[in-house]
Amino acid sequence: MTDAPRAAALELLRVVREDDAYANLALPSILRQRGLDGRDAAFATELGYGTLRWQGWYDAVLEACVTRPWAKVEPALRDILRLGAHQLLHMRVPDHAAVDSSCALAKEAGPRQTAAGRAGFVNAVLRKVAALDEDGWVERLGEGRPSDDVEWLATRWSHPTWMVRAFQDALGPRRAELGALLAADNAPARPTLVARPGRLSAADLLALPGTEPARWSPLAATLVHGTPDSLAEIRDGRAGVQDEGSQLVALALAAVPVAGPDQAWLDMCAGPGGKAAILEGLAVDRGATLVAVEQHPHRAELVESSLAPASGTSVVVGDARLTPWGDTVFDRVLLDAPCTGLGALRRRPESRWRRTPADLAALGSLQRDLLRAGLAATRPGGVLAYVTCSPHLAETEFVVSDVLRGRTDAWLEDARGLLPGVDDLGDGPTVQLWPHRHGTDAMFLAVIRREDAPVAQ
């Protein structure tokens, strides 16, 4: 019989591969079904998530260990071999335990009459993997490859090559940091909590068991022990789970001075509601109201659940390109645009293998349309924050420059001063946060001010 934690990790890989499931949504259900908690749940999580993150690297290693084309190895066996490779190369699992448990998985993964053959194949391949440690495999597979070669970096750090090229472009003159960025994408991120303004103080958040101060956001704490759902403050909505970068861009919008009244705020693409919950609390404190728009009904329900009861926030289900809020104009507008999510690869282990360059074309058109609608909804003297959880230039700088080109009624403000205490923010006026520099997701922020009259450039 196979052990339950490894079987759970294998099931996770299967549903991600066959059902296109999201790992963070699928794994809790798998753990519950198998009755796993505590150390067993932690082992299954590290094994499943780690294997998904490092899949590209393990495929390169395993391809060097099989005598048939890797693509012709049946998918279930590829998953088992990847799990074994992760235990051998990145976990403190004895070699014999990693190999034997993988053979047990192979025996139960197919018809009984082929069990011995499947187990023998897995045993032979993983013993070849175990002959070298991680550094040994890097030396062997990287022999003769320049350390800054993009294709080698993509293999070594388990990213699609097109993503690595895009990150290199986004880093610009600091492209020497590319390896550090890719390594940061593969480092599991601890949960970051947020004290939702008006419902919980930052001091009370930091008084919770297992928390310690986060690096930048005055609302944040890092959870170093335990799980978020074990905290009553998370369960009742006074606090949330939210990356520090997401907190910072919401706080930045609230910090921009506006000329004239400051009474009407808009969150154009509010699902699942984390930024809306921050903005709502800050708006109420200033006597302002928030309108939160979400196109998809199930995500609009998540927005509703993130907001304080009887807060006065209106949640509108609709396409923000079609201005479902009517003719109202707003003092502050947040456009957290739908994007590829390439800035959150450390939290979404399978997403790097799902996205393709083709996604950028459809999203780029949507992002531009949303930004034009957002500017139309921003009153003269008001401000709009354009945000993406992606550093890809096609989703950040290029979108903003295309929409603002030729306009004389809107201009970029320097956003760096809106993130007090955060260092290494570049030359401005936009801000790009990075996992390897700031310990956050790779959030992009552009702050655009609307004007009555033509702006001298």
What is the pLDDT, as a whole number, of residue 89? 98
In this structure, are 171 and 213 located in the same domain?
Answer: no
In this structure, are 262 and 407 located in the same domain?
Answer: yes
What is the pLDDT, as a whole number, of residue 453? 52
Active-site hit among 103, 269, 339, 389: 389
pTM: 0.94
In this structure, are 430 and 378 located in the same domain?
Answer: yes
Domain annotation covers residue 455: no
| Element (DSSP H or E) covering residue 58 | helix 55-63
In this structure, are 305 and 446 located in the same domain?
Answer: yes
In this structure, are 343 and 204 located in the same domain?
Answer: no
Domain that holds residue 219: 192-241
CATH of the domain at 394: 3.40.50.150
What is the pLDDT, as a whole number, of residue 2? 63
Number of domains in the chain: 4
Domain annotation covers residue 456: no
In this structure, are 298 and 324 located in the same domain?
Answer: yes
In this structure, are 85 and 215 located in the same domain?
Answer: no
What is the pLDDT, as a whole number, of residue 172? 95
What is the pLDDT, as a whole number, of residue 116? 87
In this structure, are 101 and 169 located in the same domain?
Answer: no
Domain annotation covers residue 126: yes
Domain annotation covers residue 144: no
What is the pLDDT, as a whole number, of residue 456? 41
In this structure, are 50 and 117 located in the same domain?
Answer: yes
User: Considering only CA atoms, which of 192, 188, 166, 172 is closest in space to residue 342?
Assistant: 166
Residues of the chain where predicted confidence (pLDDT) is lower than 50? 454-457
Is residue 389 among the annotated active site residues? yes
Listed in sequence order, the residues at least 6 apart from 258 whose beta carbon sits closer than 8 Å to its beta carbon are 331, 332, 381, 382, 383
CATH of the domain at 104: 1.10.940.10
Residue pair 418/443 in contact (Cβ under 8 Å)? The answer is no
The model's pLDDT over 343-360, given as tens digits with 9 standing for 90+, comes to 999 999 999 999 999 999
In this structure, are 107 and 177 located in the same domain?
Answer: no
In this structure, are 332 and 393 located in the same domain?
Answer: yes
Domain annotation covers residue 457: no
In this structure, are 169 and 224 located in the same domain?
Answer: no
How far is residue 116 from each of residues 4, 102, 389, 413, measured CA to CA in Å? 21, 13, 47, 66
